[in-house]
Amino acid sequence: MSNSPMLAGKVVVVTGAGGGIGRDIALAMAREGAKVVVNDIGASVAGEGSDAGPAQSVADEIEAAGGKAVANTDSVSEAASAARIVGTAVEAFGRIDVVVNNAGILRDRFFHKMSAEEWDAVIKVHLYGSFHVSRAAAPHFKEQESGCYVHMTSTSGLVGNFGQANYSAAKLGIAALSKSIALDMQKFGVRSNCISPFAYSRMIGSIPTETPEEQARVERLKQMTPAKIAPLAVCLASDAAKEVNAQIFAVRNNEIFLMSQPRPVRSVHRGEGWTPQSVAAHALPALKASFHGLERSGDVFCWDPV
């Protein structure tokens, strides 16, 4: 614990905290004096199976270091079980101050091959999960006129990526959800921000490593440890960030970025209105210089992690 803990007295729920980014955030929150609900159903990366071990193990790790934590294995993807996650915080520690929506699964597939089940499974955990846990905490935040949400988005949604229509749609949806929460709840002193994390965890452990170039790339990615995400998450959860609301950050190794949000970049108008023909002859050529390319996350973040 720090000399003057930033989160003393605060109660934090971290979903998907049995490993990876969530685990490091839970540990860091506890080090700064927070009481932590470590939520994880203990499923595979694809969301299959369940195991109480990971959540309990992280809770034990926090307790062993002198912190306070309880484990919870409820699913974020249904309203009733998500309510139990928040209920665990209130029962164990008497209140809730911070929700970190980190739980996630992957079912990567090229769009023309993606099944409805693969779409549903990912949307349920990421987008529905972020909604359900946030919604369960909202009445508590409103009542006490304080509270903070930290949601995990992704450059797969903010920029784009191959084979992740389900994940990308959910992650961009989370950015919009966060903004809506910030707008609707600012009058109650409630804040909502997003982090787009770059980290080498089991969710990207499936990257191919067959060629020397691929192996070298994975070694570079491994520098981006999940622990690098935690300091921003802790700071956003603290009163030191009380003026920070409705923002989208990205963290990549030792870099922190503020991400843009969609705004008009260029416009054209005709006094007499448009026809399909004049759109083709005038509007599209005039706007073309400002078109966005078919970029993927790796094209935008094209330098090695620093």
For the annotated catalytic residues, the residue numbers are: 167
Q: Alpha-carbon Rg of the chain, whole angstroms? A: 21
Of 83, 97, 98, 175, which is closest to residue 135 (Cα–Cα)?
83
Q: Is the CB of residue 155 less than 8 Å from the CB of residue 250?
A: yes
The DSSP symbol for 68 reads E
Reading the block at residue 299, the tokens are 């094209």
CA 217 from chain centre, in angstroms, equals 24
Please tell me the distance from the alpha carbon of residue 136 to that of residue 79, in angstroms, as a whole number.
8
What is the sign, positive or negative, of the torsion defined by CA atoms of 194, 197, 203, 207?
Answer: positive
Contact in structure between 252 and 198 (CB atoms under 8 Å): yes
Six-digit token string for 253: 């190794």
d(CA 23, CA 14): 8
Say which residues have a Cβ less than 8 Å from residue 114's Cβ, sequence separation at least 6: 107, 165, 166
Give yes or no for a contact between 149 and 180, defined as CB atoms under 8 angstroms apart.
no
